[in-house]
Chains A and B, each alone.
Chain A
Amino acid sequence: MENELLLVLLIPLLGGIISLFFWMDVKRQKIVFLISTIAMTLAAINLMRSVLENEVITLQSAGWDAPFGISLVADYLSTFMVLLTGIMGLAVGIYSMGDMDRARMRFGFFPLMSFLLFSVSGAFLSGDIFNLYVWFEIMLISSFVLMALGNTKAQLEGAIKYVTLNIMASIFFLAGIGVLYGLTGTLNMADIALRIHSVPDEGLITLAAVFFFIAFGVKSAVFPLFSWLPASYHTPPVAITAIFAALLTKVGVYAFIRFFTLIFTHESPFLDNLLIFTAATTMFIGVLGAAAQMEFRKILSVHIISQIGYLIMGLAIGTKLAITGVVYFIIHIVFVKTNLFLISGIVNRLKGSYELKKLGGVYHTYPFLALLFVISAFSLAGFPPLSGFWAKFALVKAGLVGDAYFLVLVALATGFLTLYSMSKIWNEVFWKKKPEEETNLEIETLKKERGVINRQVLLPVIAITVLSVGVAIWAEPIFYFAEMTAEQLLNPEIYIVNVLGMAQ
């Protein structure tokens, strides 16, 4: 039973190592990546099946009992995040096979993707704070290389900022681990959650919480720590941006949820206010930033920040309904956001630009692509009956029930502005007539250079659109699952008992 948990980690690791042996052999690397990611997704589905049976699955590595060894823990939250990682890795991997340029693929794009999936899943499954730090670092180093892969000027400028701020975040993370270890004398999350109640000095716990807040805040790009994101996310090829948008900031949010539902549950008005302030400002400033942009990918990148604000909002309210909303929101946003990035990549393939001013007329020539965009964009803006509506509805309702009127107000205003920036893209890229200066000759040469839309590019976009519509249609069972997840998160006893092996 526990080995199911290990499979999810071992398969991408093995895939990455094997594809390193086929260095520069893109064809074989593609095959290895496909096989390993499909296997990883299947392993994640299998893990999900047995977690649904057993609630929590714990693997004590090397057989060392809980507080002494490193525990890997799969509860509902971790498992569905791992499943999302597998699905998104597969989708973006297939997309990149049709879109990525050969030079980048020859210099290790696929092994890096495998290691990224490996480390992200590891971060979701880790039950030990120092082990979590190690996963974060593996994730960082693979994302650093992916960010800079290709060495263009813009990429390097973005990467320098990305690397600097993320190293700073790691430094804060390490300091936080130090304080927490000094207070409790243990690194196991479940054990910390038990012992932290007997720490006499609440001020020191809050200090540790602030250290972790800064560390995860940088990684998940909350206000005012997000400045690396608009500077860097739009610089690499769109497939890399898409996988970053799907997974990296979500790892930060996952760590937020894990730490602030399991460890830092003590009464602290300062922390509560900090979360509320962060949620409101992140939502609003993120969406304002997006509204100001006039470039397809930049709008989407800055929008990530505003969506993170929604997730923190649910955590700040902290009731069962709010956490349920957060879980549903994560599923929704991972599909929709990645899909929008992939569509922006297809538009770039067709028209050779991301600039809204230079684009236009896509609706007339490619109505099907426009339809795919509309589904995702309106879902992001929160139109019923798409998935974004249910996600926002749950959060807003939780805010009204929990008397967080200020947050609700900000969330609704943000939703409105989201609609504004999505309709801006729609108007400029799809609806308006194509610009005068664009001659047919230019398009013809572009098509010769890049090839028209191929199957590898279109297939993942259609698949993710179907999935995101599915999330809306089967909202009830998914909501039911999200509710179970929230219940498990708000009753950390289940987690603690299972990890520390006190169940017998």
Chain B
Amino acid sequence: MEDVLPFLIGGLYAGGVYLVLHKSFVKLIIGLIILGYASNLMLFTISRITRGAPALVPEGAEALVEPYADPLPQALVLTAIVIGFGIQAFAIVLIKVGYRIVATDNLDDLNTTDRLDD
């Protein structure tokens, strides 16, 4: 697994960046979501993956015996997913309202607030 996941993460980052660079609102959001997944997976992978060794103290022993899986990254990733979900929900609604009021689907048209002379 540890040999495959880095390629997956790299692919997700590449795909996310590719989508974010598009002009469309919807592709921007999908790109951000994919980038979020890439970071979550990276956080999960980089903290080392141990298979089939739950972090439980075996019967008769006083402490954990190596090897055991670190439960913390899983908790972190779960938290990050939940937070990401909330932020993405907000971003999707924002994009929808933005589309209705600004009346465009082209990010290049969102330049009125940057102009010097308005």
From 164 to 191 in chain A, residues with beta carbon under 8 angstroms from any chain B beta carbon are: 164, 167-168, 170-172, 174-175, 177-179, 181-182, 185, 187
List 13 A-B pairs, Cβ < 8 Å: A137-B87, A156-B98, A159-B94, A160-B110, A163-B94, A167-B87, A167-B91, A170-B87, A174-B40, A175-B39, A178-B42, A181-B76, A294-B116
- Chain B residues in the interface with A (C-beta under 8 A): 20, 25, 28, 32, 35-36, 38-40, 42-44, 46-48, 70, 72-73, 76, 79-80, 83, 86-87, 90-91, 94-95, 97-98, 101-102, 107, 110, 112-114, 116-118
| Interface check A374, CB cutoff 8 A | no
Once bound together, how far apart are the Cα atoms of A411 and B27, in whole Å? 41
**Residues on A with beta carbons closer than 8 Å to the beta carbon of B101:** 151-153, 156
In whole Å, how far is B64's beta carbon from the nearest beta carbon of chain A? 13
Determine whether the beta carbon of A141 is less than 8 Å from that of B112: no
A231 at the B interface (CB under 8 A): yes
A141 touches B97 (CB 8 A): no
Whether A160 contacts B95 by the Cβ 8 Å rule is yes
**How long is the Cα–Cα vector from A292 to B73 in the complex, in angstroms?**
48
> Could you tell me the distance between the alpha carbons of A293 and B118 in the complex, rounded to whole angstroms?
10
Q: In the complex, which residues of chain A have a beta carbon less than 8 angstroms from the beta carbon of B47?
A: 178, 181-182
Q: Knowing A141-B90, A157-B110, A160-B94 are in contact, say whether A171-B116 is a contact too (CB < 8 A).
A: no
List the 5 closest A-B pairs by CB distance, nearest first: A178-B43, A182-B46, A174-B39, A156-B98, A178-B46
Are the CB atoms of A168 and B28 closer together than 8 Å?
no
Residues of chain A with a CB closer than 8 A to B113's CB: 154, 157-158, 231-232, 234-235
A144 interface residue, CB < 8 Å from B?
A: yes
Q: Tell me, yes or no, whether A247 is within 8 Å of chain B by CB.
A: no
Residue numbers in A under 8 Å from B25 (CB-CB): 160
Q: Mark A129-161, 1 if CB is under 8 A from B, else 0.
A: 010011001001100110010011110111111
Give Cα distance in the complex from A137 to B83, angstroms: 7
Q: 18 new A-B pairs (CB below 8 Å) besides A157-B113, A160-B94, A168-B32?
A: A130-B76, A141-B87, A144-B94, A151-B97, A153-B101, A157-B112, A159-B98, A160-B25, A167-B87, A168-B20, A171-B36, A171-B39, A172-B39, A174-B36, A174-B80, A175-B39, A181-B72, A187-B72
Complexed CA–CA distance, A156 and B48 (Å): 41
